[in-house]
Structure 1
Amino acid sequence: MVKRTHGYRYKSRKLLRKKPRERGMSGLSRLLYEYKPGDKVVIDIDPTYITTAPHRRYQGKVGVVVGTRGRAYVIETYLGDKKKIVITTADHLVPYQGGS
């Protein structure tokens, strides 16, 4: 038997896939949105851009923008009790619409 690999995109077939009506480039409003430090964002991985995508364990997590690094954003989020830093571009971020 060969040992099964557990790569970076392991078990993510459904997660990192677009529905037929979502195919193609995403809208400009999502890319042109400017985030400021302190803004809350939701990490929503766009499978079109693989190189800048965060790990799939952060999909759907709410975080706070801490700053920028080049054209990428530094997001502070929690994974259980641990505070984590995620660096990703605006392609994978959506403004948080929830309360406070």
Structure 2
Amino acid sequence: MRRSRGSRSKTRYKLQNTNRAGRTNPITKKIQQFAENDMVHIIIDPSVHKGQPHPRFHGMTGRVVEGRGRAYIVALNDGNKAKQIIVRPEHLKIQE
């Protein structure tokens, strides 16, 4: 029997929501907007499956290159290689 290797494999602890009071998925996360050259953290919200980046990018910081529909293109370095990923705003957080 072959083992399943889905896009969320090996993420049991990485993609867990902590139990907190209040809504776990507020509407303000969906409607937040970013400008070009904003620095953002990629924090995957496991309750929203659409627009999730690959789990290897969870916790990384990148720069918003442009908007594409409801999502944003974020440029970041994965090791020494420059990459661009498409992420929805639910999985992004502005860097203070």
- Coarse TM-score class (shorter-chain normalised): 0.7 to 0.9
One-letter amino acid matched to 2:54: H
Gaps of 5+ in 1: none
Gaps of 5+ in 2: none
- Three-state SS of the structure 1 residue aligned to 2:30 is helix
**Residue 33 of structure 1: how far off its partner (Å):** 2.6
**Residue 22 of structure 1: how far off its partner (Å):** 6.2
Q: Percent of pairs identical after alignment? A: 32
Distance 1:19 1:61 in 2: 19
Q: 2:50·2:88 contact (CA, 8 Å) conserved in 1?
A: no
Change beyond 3 A, Cα 1:84–1:22: farther
One-letter amino acid matched to 1:14: Y
The alignment's C-alpha RMSD in Å is: 1.8
Q: 2:63·2:76 contact (CA, 8 Å) conserved in 1?
A: yes
The C-alpha deviation readout for 1:49-94, integer Å capped at 9, x for no partner, is 1121110000011000000110100000110000111101100000
Distance 1:42 1:89 in 2: 12
**Residue 15 of structure 1: how far off its partner (Å):** 1.5
Query: What's the TM-score, normalizing by structure 1?
Result: 0.85
Distance 1:56 1:23 in 2: 25
Distance 2:76 2:21 in 1: 27
Query: What's the TM-score, normalizing by structure 2?
Result: 0.88
